[in-house]
Amino acid sequence: MLNRSRLAASFTLLIAGVAGFAAYYVGVLTRTGQLAEASVLETANYKTDPGFPVNMVSPLSVFLSLGVLVVLTLAVWSIRRALVVLLASLTALFGSQLLKNVLLDRPVLIDAALTHNSFPSGHMTAIAVLGIALIFAVPAAIRGFMSALVGFGLSIVALQVMTAGWHRPSDMVGALALTIGSYALWSLIIAHGDNKIALLGSLVRFLLRVLFGLATLVALIFLIFAAFTRSDAAIMVGAYAAVIAACIWVANRATLLLR
């Protein structure tokens, strides 16, 4: 069980690292990526208040919610899993601020007015941290249902943040990669798998894989079409579909870290 769990965590960490690096390199460091994401931002209807649940995100609300989920994980499972939830969440939350505000830069390739680095999204990191913590905390019998709910919730929040003009698609992918990568890293360090797989959980994982495949296919079709036609609408749909695929993959992958 531990070998299988460590294999899943290692693979998740690898894919998260590759996805995060690719999102930053393509979306931030290349002129083509910046132009594509600028077109997505131009389609957004900027709002100072994007609405619930994003407007509920604050340091206080995030850390209070995280504290509740750590206690729940301890009550339902073990101190080892509770430590993973706590340490992985803190790694992702502080890591996102360190990356965005200190370590990473946004070069001026298309517009001198858009030099502020927003990669990775702190709001998306916070929501993803709490979502994965919830998957880790609940009993195995409802884990599958919770992973589907989290995947849906992450997708809604990502679309909400992007359509409000707060973040670019690469910021979303970077936040998701950082969060699932942090959970995979601490799952490698602290073994906590339970090897409990409910029938409903297996069915939900299958459905999530199907949805991930469909979202990925839509993203590829529209982005390839956009590459030939320079259609802003196609870029927008392709980018949104890619982010939704990432949200679904993260929710599904989180369940595999528990086996």
Structure tokens at 1: 């069980």
Distance from C-alpha of 105 to C-alpha of 169, rounded to nearest angstrom: 17
Distance from C-alpha of 30 to C-alpha of 18, rounded to nearest angstrom: 17
Residue 17 has pLDDT above 80, yes or no: yes
Structure tokens at 147: 């992973």
Helices then strands (H, E): number in the chain?
9, 0
CB 255 within 8 A of CB 147: yes
Q: At what angle do helices 122-137 and 169-189 cross, to 10 degrees?
A: 40
Distance from C-alpha of 57 to C-alpha of 241, rounded to nearest angstrom: 24
Distance from C-alpha of 130 to C-alpha of 257, rounded to nearest angstrom: 16
Distance from C-alpha of 121 to C-alpha of 157, rounded to nearest angstrom: 12
- Percent with pLDDT over 70 in the chain: 94
CB 94 within 8 A of CB 120: no
pLDDT band at 198; cut points 50, 70, 90? low
Give the per-residue SS3 of 100-163: HHHHCCCCCCCCCCCCCCCCCCHHHHHHHHHHHHHHHHCCHHHHHHHHHHHHHHHHHHHHHHHH
Distance from C-alpha of 225 to C-alpha of 231, rounded to nearest angstrom: 8
| 134-184 confidence digits (pLDDT tens) | 999 999 889 999 999 999 999 999 999 999 989 999 999 999 999 999 999
Structure tokens at 103: 């370590």
Average predicted confidence (pLDDT) for the chain: 91
pLDDT band at 200; cut points 50, 70, 90? low
| 239-252 confidence digits (pLDDT tens) | 999 999 999 999 99
**Which residue in 231, 250, 253, 223 sits closest to 27, CA to CA?**
223
pLDDT (0 to 100) of residue 113 = 59
CB 195 within 8 A of CB 137: no
| 92-107 confidence digits (pLDDT tens) | 999 999 999 999 999 9
Residue 62 has pLDDT above 70, yes or no: yes
| 202-222 confidence digits (pLDDT tens) | 788 899 999 999 999 999 999
